[in-house]
Structure 1
Amino acid sequence: MSGGFPEALQFSFAAWVNRLVDWLVLHYGDHLRSVSEQLLQLLVGLENLLRLLPWWLLLALVGLLAWHASRSLGRALLLPLLLALIGMLGLWDKLLQTLALVLVSTGLCVLIGVPLGILLATRPLARRLILPVLDVMQTLPAFVYLIPVLMLFGLGKVPAVFATLIYALPPLVRLTELGLAQIDPSLLQAAHGLGASRWQRLRRIALPLALPSIMAGLNQSVMMALSMVVVASMIGARGLGEDVLAGIQTLNVGQGVEAGLAIVALAMVIDRISQAYGRPGR
């Protein structure tokens, strides 16, 4: 007697998903191609802008940003030094490619995630409908995201941006909603009694009070975007992840370790600056 699961109870929805993707490509292929071209122009333009800056000027800007965020001279000197070490390893251009990818992905996360978090905090029905979707987005393996974006956008930087966006979006949405939900309702009621409109209450009271939580969500999104760098390199994103992937494929341990430590250094720089801006006392 076989111990396998009965075949009569088995089913597959893979064909449905394939038909959905085919339908999207057939009916919205031109729109997807247009979005892809515009996003690619943005990415390439940002990369070229970063390349136009002298390396010392970019390091100085990072140092000034670190000092403005933390008011710490030590941090303002240490963080640019970490980026300088990446340049000393001969990975400066790949660093700029990775930085452009992370900045664009994080920017899209902010444009989508913060309004979505506000919607979840103000609309209980939206919260009940969207939270399960966020759960799925957070628990699906990262490689699963590559399959649909490859079908819709092909190889290159654009599908890497969308895969990174899907992977890094949930923390920002959740923490934005959490920060707004923790605000004392009496503050908003008092503002309402003084004649403040809903938009004024949101912009002048709710968002400033929720800013530490929002910045924590942004920090988590950036870290998750950086964790996708190696995975995104598999579909043509290039950057530091490309060297890690090449080290794995050729068993070049040194090359993989150098690129991996460069990703860690970039993550530390972004993490320290975003954490400093998210401190409640600022």
Structure 2
Amino acid sequence: MSIPKIPIGEWVESLEGWLETNFEPFFDGVKLVVGSVVDGLADGFNFFPPLVVIAIFTVLAFWLGRYRLGAFTLLGLLLVLNLGYWEHTMDTLALVLTASFISIVVGVPIGILCAEYKKVQSVVTPILDLMQTMPAFVYLLPAVAFFSLGVVPGVIASVIFSIPPTIRLTSLAIRQVPEDLVEAADAFGSTGMQKLIKVQLPIAIPTIMAGINQTIMLSLSMVVIASMIGAQGVGADVYRAVTQAKTGMGTEAGLAVVVLAIMLDRMTQKLAKKNKKE
């Protein structure tokens, strides 16, 4: 006696078809907005001479992390420029910043709701577990179905893959705010919004920044995978090197990703420390 197979795949495809049919204007709007933001950032980074952009990033790194971070940023970006991957690296940076911004704008409010309402947390937590354990390649299929090929499905797939740390650590940070401070705010007659903005968020910012840091790193890890569906940048060079078995090209393109990853990682960490001191 054979047990009938549960048609999960058919249900998912039916849902996908229904969404494509009924929400096509919404997906077109998202594609237009996200595509415009990524293209605008990439054009902005590539509009100025590379040395000017390197100088700006170096000054920012020096302000955040003093000499070591400033020196690494300067030498790392000069290496990227020397290897010939400057334009593609800026395209990758635009994609990562867009995906990270969307993840923060969506993830932080959801994390706050999870901290304030246990029912929301009980619903969101299994979804986050699914998002973090599902193979990243699976996200490419619905992204391509809804947004076709290009940079937009790459951004959307990156958001889905990288948003869980922001949600989880925001929720954790809000819940870890000392109860006596929350009770004191209530005693002074603070509204829920005043309590959140003036008490909970300032204390929770370091932990929230740790979640944002992880989100940025996960977005960068999706760069190569996103290149498989048309997202441009250094990931496309890495993917091309893999398909053509060119170890040298892959190493050079990989170094560009490493420089970008370390630079963004250290900058967000230093920014979190500055906020904690203040």
TM class, shorter-length: over 0.9
The alignment partner of 1:77 has SS state of: helix
Q: Deviations over 1:216-270 (max 9, x none)?
A: 0000000000000000000000100001100011111111111111101100000
* C-alpha displacement of 1:152: 0.7
Given candidates 159, 169, 191, the residue that maps to 1:197 is 191
* Aligned position for 2:245: 251
Q: What residue ranges of structure 2 are gaps of 5+ in the alignment?
A: none
Q: Does 1:24 align with 2:34?
A: no
Aligned pairs (5 A) from 1:107-122: 107-122=101-116
Q: Does 1:281 align with 2:273?
A: no
Aligned pairs (5 A) from 1:180-259: 180-259=174-253
* Aligned position for 2:56: 61
* C-alpha displacement of 1:77: 2.1
Q: Deviations over 1:63-95 (max 9, x none)?
A: 22212222x223212212211211110000000
* Aligned position for 1:43: 38
- Aligned residue identity for 1:66: A
The alignment partner of 1:81 has SS state of: helix
Q: Distance in 2 between the 1:25 and 1:9 partners?
A: 29
* Aligned position for 2:265: 271
Q: Distance in 1 between the 2:162 and 2:139 partners?
A: 12
* Aligned position for 1:160: 154
* C-alpha displacement of 1:9: 4.1
* Aligned position for 1:3: none
Deviates more, 1:249-258 or 1:48-57: 48-57
Aligned pairs (5 A) from 1:134-145: 134-145=128-139
Q: What's the RMSD between the two structures over aligned residues? A: 1.2
- Aligned residue identity for 1:127: Q
Q: Does 1:93 align with 2:87?
A: yes
Runs of 4+ in 1 over 6 A off after TM superposition: none
Q: What residue ranges of structure 1 are gaps of 5+ in the alignment?
A: 1-5
Report how many residues are paired. Answer: 276
TM-score by length of 1: 0.95
Q: Distance in 2 between the 1:168 and 1:36 partners?
A: 19
Q: Deviations over 1:157-183 (max 9, x none)?
A: 000000000000000100111111111
- Aligned residue identity for 2:135: P
Q: Distance in 2 between the 1:74 and 1:216 partners?
A: 21
- Aligned residue identity for 2:222: M
Q: Deviations over 1:122-171 (max 9, x none)?
A: 01110011000000000000001001111111100000000000000000
* C-alpha displacement of 1:31: 2.0
Given candidates 83, 100, 105, the residue that maps to 2:99 is 105
TM-score by length of 2: 0.96
Q: Distance in 2 between the 1:17 and 1:270 partners?
A: 36
- Aligned residue identity for 1:272: R
Q: Distance in 2 between the 1:214 and 1:8 partners?
A: 47
* Aligned position for 2:163: 169
Deviates more, 1:90-99 or 1:77-86: 77-86
Q: Distance in 1 between the 2:138 and 2:68 partners?
A: 41
